[in-house]
Structure 1
């Protein structure tokens, strides 16, 4: 569980990131929720960064 306050799972954040959410706030909005206590923001950010890096890697491989 990434966010206990909003019951957001890691797969939810990864899906939002794949659909273009570049920040935790944008991911939460895409999921129809909003941050509350903020303790999950660093973990959500790390997941989003990981997904964006993975997408970038795939795009670079496709271009080669």
Structure 2
């Protein structure tokens, strides 16, 4: 499933990047060499990132 249509970022790609790079959706998009465009995907992306981090026991930093 695509999370970000503008950048063609799939959920699996986002989850993999979240395991490698900590931070907000914008930071993780940056690690993929992309930037949010229309920004409609950011809430869903943040939820997916939080889910990925919690399921891997990484937790989320309050400053992330």
| Same topology, TM > 0.5 | yes
Larger fraction in strand:
2
Segments of 5+ residues of structure 2 without an aligned counterpart are 59-64
Q: 1:6: which partner in 2?
A: 7
Give the distance between the partners of 2:8 and 2:56, measured in 1 at CA. Answer: 25
Contact 1:21 1:30 in 2 (8 A): no
Post-superposition CA distance 1:7-45 (Å, at most 9, x none): 000011101100023210111001100000100001100
Q: 1:33: which partner in 2?
A: 34
Q: 1:20: which partner in 2?
A: 21
Larger fraction in helix:
1
Number of corresponding residues:
57
Larger radius of gyration: 1
Segments of 5+ residues of structure 1 without an aligned counterpart are 58-64
TM-score when scaled to structure 2? 0.82
